[in-house]
Amino acid sequence: MGRLYEGDNLVVMRELETGSATLVYADPPFGTNKDRRGTAGEYEDSWGHVREYITWLRPRLVEMCRLLRPDGTLYLHLDRRSVHHARLLLDELFGARCFQNEIIWHYTGGGRGTLSFPHKHDNILVYHKGESYKFNADAVREPYAPTSGYASSGITAASGKRYVPHPLGKVVDDVWKIPIVNPLSRERTGYPTQKPEALLERILLASSDAGDLVLDPFSGSGTTAAVAQKLDREWVAIDSNPEAITATRTRLEALGADVVMGREGGQTT
């Protein structure tokens, strides 16, 4: 079961219980200075200057940090325009020692400019709340390459120590090649900048367990909540855009989810 809130996520998050979330996945506007439009909705992503964007983002990251459990993890999904500013801010809020990874989500599709190398990746900053944090390595393994000699026979180091391949494969590295949601995909909602379920599935499997609470303060098309529902996680999803709320609720009800609607001020329906 989960709770879906329509409203300003800063207001809603301030009403939620401290230390209640095991995982926060945040996919805010990227600071593109463009209006993002899809067949099922749109949202504004326009800022006068990057300082305005970071000023808006900062108090929301403060709340995300507060809401995480001591063993919780934040995944902040951005791109080249603002990720460097956000990393400095997260170093300040969480502490540089709590930086875990910068994941590169590499994808193909879309236009191919001729004035620069094509921009075909997003950046996902990963910070843990404390020294101990959840990371389910065996849940995110993938097969070794068919040509891998290590996979077939292992390796013996110069010291004589023997290393053998793991039966479940290798842990995925920090470059993730996952396709975008293409126009013909069954999971496509039509809401702009929708993220693929495969991306969120990897994140949730790595950093949460069944029954844990997952928070998405920028619900958008509802991918995080949908994946959490399928993986038996509790979830809280927030968005200020009524079209996003409609897309998320429709998606979850199709999964048979018991959706509790909330609003600013703690009201639920």
Q: Using one digit for the tens of pLDDT, what is the confidence trace for 43-64? A: 989 888 899 999 999 999 999 9
Q: How far apart are CA 27 and CA 36, in angstroms?
A: 14
From 254, 135, 123, select the one nearest 203 (Cα to Cα).
Answer: 135
Residue 39 pLDDT class (50, 70, 90 cuts): confident
The residue with greater pLDDT, 21 or 158, is 21
The pLDDT, as a whole number, for residue 166 is 94
From 104, 80, 88, select the one nearest 31 (Cα to Cα).
Answer: 80
pTM: 0.94
The pLDDT, as a whole number, for residue 40 is 85
Q: How far apart are CA 66 and CA 104, in angstroms?
A: 26
Is the pLDDT reported for residue 175 higher than 90?
yes
Residue 269 pLDDT class (50, 70, 90 cuts): low
* DSSP string covering 74-142: EEEEE-TTTHHHHHHHHHHHH-GGGEEEEEEEE---S---SSS----EEEEEEEESSSS----GGGGEE
Q: Would you give the DSSP letter of residue 204?
A: H
Is the pLDDT reported for residue 267 higher than 60?
no
The pLDDT, as a whole number, for residue 268 is 59
Is the pLDDT reported for residue 266 higher than 70?
no
What is the CATH topology of the domain spanning 2-137+174-263?
Rossmann fold (3.40.50)
Residue 32 pLDDT class (50, 70, 90 cuts): confident
Matching residue, tokens 């992503």 = 45
CA dihedral for 177, 26, 229, 231, sign (positive or negative): positive
What is the mean predicted confidence (pLDDT) over 5-28? 98
Q: How much of the chain is helix, strand and coil, in % rounded to 5?
A: 30, 30, 40
The pLDDT, as a whole number, for residue 53 is 94
Which positions ≥6 away from 110 have C-beta within 8 Å? Answer: 120, 180
Average pLDDT, whole number, for the chain? 94
Residue 241 pLDDT class (50, 70, 90 cuts): very high
The pLDDT, as a whole number, for residue 152 is 83
Q: How far apart are CA 153 and CA 122, in angstroms?
A: 36
The pLDDT, as a whole number, for residue 89 is 97
Percent of the chain with pLDDT over 70: 98
Is the pLDDT reported for residue 246 higher than 70?
yes
Is the pLDDT reported for residue 42 higher than 70?
yes
Q: How far apart are CA 29 and CA 37, in angstroms?
A: 13
Percent of the chain with pLDDT over 90: 80
User: C-alpha angle 255/250/68, rounded to 5°?
Assistant: 75
